Chain A
């Protein structure tokens, strides 16, 4: 991986509040990267520092080996799609897209060709003469995209690009952004608080919390193997159970006892060296849990225990159950057509999960 955009131990405070704390990231050329986190985690500030609207107090930002930390925004090969799109209301669609080229002093003919090409790419050619007030939300977003992309930026920053759109349009634009990224080939950096967006749009995700990077990895990595409780809880739903490691039958495998549930100790696949007798946090995603009638036979090698269904919520493609097992409450999500998708409140069930689908993490990580 080449080090195209390097964020090197960057910190930023507003007043006495530290919003970005020693953040280091390396992003490759052409990558689609997401900064994911709840509001106030510092992701927007980080984006604004890459764009040049804010200056870090400490640390450097390098682009293609060049230090751009103190370069003003107009001199960076970086362009932004703003959260509210920031379309100039007094200029037509055409003039909005041409704005950046005019700033570069490009020739009239060149500007015309580039703008036309770009409007075609985002399918707005028919609206070129319109004023922004007459555009729909989706069209405004495409103007913002065209306006930034026409400058052929090396890095395109997108601040919550889908937040202002309704659900239907959001799904459509999700696909559109991915194909645009493939066509343009620039580095895309998304800022979002929506895990679904981050996972589907990007090659890699950085999860931020309180100004720090919690985890960096591919969508699969951060979803399947969260390194902290925060990441696990923020990305998708998770069952957390506190237990103790009791034995390690062989390499990469550990037995965990969870108090208050019959059937444990359970066996869990685990890659990291584990100290026995340690208190750990066991994590299982709701969709990894299987439910079967109490009487049914259990597959060999599965962990299982029994419980009572407390709550049923029907979601169309799947159903969510809340199951009481001893003193614990477990959430399970069952696809329709799967076994156990038609249970009712009060049913006795056998709850099972595969050793590979559970994760064990130490208590101290992520609080």
Chain B
């Protein structure tokens, strides 16, 4: 029996479609043309300019700080949430599970405007703190789902086995559950990190003066069409970093 080749061809077509713009971007970061149209020769100029673009680096640093803090908080909250969702079957957990999944299906703009309403009506000045809160809120569900998936694969007789061999409940959790769950928690954390790094829409709603994250800065540059090739150069570097991070998290995911 011959299988249709259409799915294979489409898969690679889709992957090409996904990578095409990124490829253009990487090529353009070495293109001497200012507007990234035709190829006008190889240059390192945009990378040199990038070196001195202090505002971009500051934004990047801020973005990374927020992403680290947000992914850490959502890792803790999400792991706990996944544990109780897995451990208990009750009315409380049914409600909890709906509450965890709803934000995943919420359009970003609604998340942004609702949090903005909260901060405006609550008289909270928007800034780094409000961005962090927003990021933890939308990352929480994703981390919970990743950890929950890992918990569902976890064989709970291993905990019985540990106790049978003389471990107390706490030691069984520390020596068996946590090490086996850790790759899942870390994968969830990495997902949260990239989501936080990437977010523009929600951040735009809850940012204030002095809290310009990288996506906000890039959006500003796009709107004013200022030093666009420098964005190309920075993006190329970021793509390399995400590629490395993704491969790393992929390895983690597969090892366990």
Contacts and interface: CB of A to CB of B under 8 A. Distances in A.
B167 A74 contact: yes
Chain A interface size, under 10 / 10 to 19 / 20 to 34 / 35 or more: 20 to 34
A82 B165 CA distance: 12
B198 interface: no
Nearest to B156: A86
A51 B166 CA distance: 11
A100 B163 contact: no
A86 B163 contact: no
B166 A53 contact: no
Interface in A83-124: 84, 86-90, 99-100, 103-104
A148 B161 CA distance: 9
Contact of B164 (A73, A84, A89, A104): A73
Chain B interface size, under 10 / 10 to 19 / 20 to 34 / 35 or more: 10 to 19
Contacts of B162: 88, 99
B171 interface: yes
B166 A88 contact: no
B176 interface: yes
A147 interface: yes
A227 interface: no
A73 B155 contact: no
B92 to A, nearest CB: 19
A74 B161 contact: no
A80 B171 CA distance: 18
B164 A88 contact: no
Nearest to A86: B161
B125 interface: no
A151 interface: yes
Contacts of A79: 164-165
Given A74-B164, A103-B167, A90 B155 contact: no
B157 A72 contact: no
B160 A73 contact: yes
A328 to B, nearest CB: 47
Interface string B141-162: 0000000000000010110111
A100 B163 CA distance: 9
Interface of B: 155, 157-158, 160-169, 171, 175-176, 179-180, 256
Shortest 3 CB-CB contacts between residues of A and residues of B: A103-B166, A100-B165, A86-B161
